[in-house]
Structure 1
Amino acid sequence: MGIRFRPVTFKKRIILIFLVSILTPFVCLGFLSFYTIDSIIDNKVESTIQGRLKQDLLTLENTLNNLNHVSQQLAIGGRIPALIERLHQTDQPYERVELFNEIKSELNVITFSNPNIGLLLFYYPDTGAVQFENFRVRTPFAPERLSIMASYPEITYYGPHRSYNDSINQYVFSTMRQVNVAGRNVYLYIETGRNALETLFAPQNRKSDSRRLLILDNDGMIAFSENREVFPESTRFPAYDAESLSDSGYYGNFFWSKETSNQGWSIVSILPQNELNLERNRWLWQFTGFTVVVLLIAVFFAWLLRKMVYKPLDKFNKEIKSLILSHAPEETELTRIPEFDYTLYQIRSMKRKIWNLYEEIEQKERRRADLEVEKLLYQINPHFLMNTLDTVHWLAVMNGQKEIDRVVLSLNKLLYYNLGKKGETSTIGDEIQALKEYLQLQQIRYDFRFDVDIDVDELALSLPSPRFILQPLVENALYHGVSDDGYIYVGIRLRDDRLEIEVRDNGAGMSRETIDKLLHDDANESEKVGMGIGMRYVRRILKAHYGDKARLEIESGHDRGTTVMLSLPASGGDLDA
């Protein structure tokens, strides 16, 4: 009962925590790895094989779909079946020559536009004749001897076989479709082109890959095999089960994985089991090396943490004590770590004083802002000013002063908009209307001519916008950009979820240094450039409403005019702030 509790220091705790954190994971991994290594390796190999197999399936499907698409163009409807039917019906030599040339021309266009197409011909099974071939045909031409990969009433797909193109000696896929010709038994035969399947069925390009591929037809028969000794062609795949949902497994000394196409045929990848053992051994060596590296890194960081945390923490406490003058005790929840408890006390004392000072400054700023607002309200009475301008407007109307009436009316509308309440919502349409009133006043005021082109997307008129954002940009362009025969363009476009605003003039332009001051200088010196006041207001209002979501850019050059571009979120940002 008389024993006092002595907290363990941070230095001792950090050493203990590092020892436990380093030893515990590796001890647990040492026991678990023996039970999980097989499943980890199997899942890794299976996922890798399955991913590559899906890519092979996609390549093959794209190839067959291309054959199907071309065969539909040539065999179903269109000009070629009709031309062949006319060719068979006419006995006129000249007309037959014309039709024959026209058919060849159509086929050349199809072949040229489909570079993955190889041999193409029309086959008459009744006589065994071929016609309109685009390459010399190897004889005898007997498609009935080919291995069928998938067969449907309208089209038949043949598995990899030696090409009937006499100019090449490669394996190709092919398809045959009946042509819609009345009274004749005609079929369209198409092969894949040269090297079309080289990446998929060329073992010489996969010397480092021990896997081999099989192609199964709709009934599970092997239509093509890269390992004919174990999986001969025209035999049923031993592990095939039409009612099973399994797409992988083991057969003999091979691991197999299967992917089935939407058309019912399948592509199978077979891999010797010794490849799995090689992968497992490689993983064990990698794991051992990784373990050694992690241990070395952990020891290094344990030493570095003690050096970089513990010693700076002691120095940090001394620095805080030099800043705090009051050491009055306070009741707080402690961490039971002596170093942290003492530092926490110092930080809380300093924080309390800082927040008290901050609150005092905030109250002073609030009072100063209230005085500024009150002063401004006394200096400018918007209602009095509006009523006075309205009186001048009616006096001008009564005395027939149309020019004065137009000026006063535009000024009254512009002031009413610009002196609107803070919480009122503005739109792009309101901004455009206020800008037009401002330009009307300026055209009366200045003795030089200038043109203004306003181009606004109709969809953008109803979008919310900060008040008084267009006038400063146009005012800067008018004051500092244009002179006689000046031109100002105002464009507003809605692109996706962004509102793009562009104000462009044809004036003298400005230097890169001036542009940088306008975009980045917040000091009073920016007013010396002439455009600083209005541009600084635009930057601050964009920052207040949109934060970092708004972009302001300026492009200019000597005698090339100036372009100011704004990009704002179409949602409107925080326009109630």
Structure 2
Amino acid sequence: MKGFAQYFSGISIKNKIFSTNILIIIISISTLALFANIVSQKAIIEKAVKNSSRELVLIDNNLQTLITTVEDYSKILATDFRLQNVLYNDFLENSNLSATDHVGGLDNLSMKNTLSEVISNIVEPNTNIKAVSVLTSNHQWVDVGFADNEFASRVFGSNPEAADHSYQPVLTGLMKFKFRYEGDDDVFAVSKTVIHKDTGKTVGMVVLYVKETVIASIYERKMNYKGGNFYILDRDGKIISSQNKASLYRDFNEATSISIPYSTQEENSFFQGNGREKVLVSTHRLEPLQWSIVSVIPIDEITVERKEINQLIIRIGSLCLLLAFIVSYLLSRSITKPIFQLSRTMRDIRTGHLTARSSYQSSDEIGYLNNVFNNLMDRIEELLAENVEEQKTKAEIEFKLLQTQVQPHFLYNTLETIISLIKLNMKAEAITAAKYMADFYKISLSKGNDIISLREEIQLTASYLEIQQLRYVEYMEYSMEIDEEIMSCSISKLTLQPIVENAIYHGLKRKTEKGLLRITGRRLGEEVHIDIYDNGVGIEESQIRRMLMEVSGSKERVSFGVRSVHNRIRMLYGDRYGLEIQSELGAYTKVTIRLPFKPVREV
């Protein structure tokens, strides 16, 4: 968790806003999709259960209608006056004969024609009844159609009074029955005793045959789910109707591996199985036959609609996510763009472009922040300008103070030297010293100009050195080698003199033997380098730092003069210019003055 927090804190604000928005939207869409999936699945399953129950009710109604119709046909046939007359006449003609002595009065052609005419109105193609068999009171099955009378005799016997029919049509279970021209077929049979309406005598029995495929056609038309199956079971759980004819006569549990729990309810629905083998089982009891109508639908077929809904959810979710990406990107960009602009402005200022300002204008919080930043930078720039002006004024004051210190001090020392030379009757040397002093002051005044040419500064420094050599001839000699190319370069007045004075008094004068002071000047690219070298006692590293840096409370005149020259150059030409000092104790000191190459006329 700590690592994630560190990673999250390290990414940009834009990515934080963008990723947070996307994460929230993804979680919201995923939660909504999951909720919609659960709700839709529940609704679809409930719909499937209701549809199955409704289908079973419709099948029940149609099946009962079919059975009632067949029973009605059996009643109509049993009460038909022509059939009753034929069977009654046969009953009368053979009433005195034994069962083995009957003469088969119905074998004559006219009677067969009569029965065929009666039966033809209630069999295919006029109705769903496949065929009809007629049993006379004299134990004779009449051959009047497709039914095989010998097979009927084996199934139903030859005595119409043997079974208790309660004078109502009786529906048998599914059976294999042989037809004369089509072979065996699966049928249901409805039998009805024929009672003579006048005498009340049982004169025969009629049996109507309905094929199982007629029953199956009822629910095949009602199927809403592909892959689903309907079954009709008898009271013992045997399959008596199914789309799969191979499962007929088999136990339902054995054929389908589905066990139907006992229930007192007329309708029942439940799920059985796991995974892809899971199925919805719906049952409906068909009274008064005590049959059961069973619907078995694979869960995959039920959830096909849910898959379509899921695909719709995925498409809508993807579209929403794409829209969220676009909106989040635009939102994060609209928030972070002015921040990045302000950040770029800050980087520009950090690299030295102090005049850079943020151009973003708005009335929102970021716009207010930009205005405050711009106002702050304006104020800082004003303060910097004031500070620069103060530093410039301070440097001017220090430089003027240096000049005021140098000139009277130099004048006093030079006059002392001239007086000494006169006393020693060295008039020529005294005149020379006076001449050098005049040259020094002539150039140092320079009509009030603070910027002079390097040629003039060299002449001023040479006059100073000639006078100093008259005073300290025993321990100092000097040389000057300045390239003519840089003689026209501009330089601040009295730049070399404080450094030369420092070299004499703190370098050469402290040496026990005669020393050398050498001044050289050259051009390097767009810069001018002037080296002032002495082989005096040298300077410590800490002293060098104090010479170039302003130390609070320091009253050393040495560092004051050198530091004033250093600050003056940096103020006039920039921080890349100024003094560089190299020294080794007991060996040497070299001061390098770095100046831009600018002819004096440009100043």
Return the TM-score normalized by structure 1. Answer: 0.38
Return the TM-score normalized by structure 2. Answer: 0.36
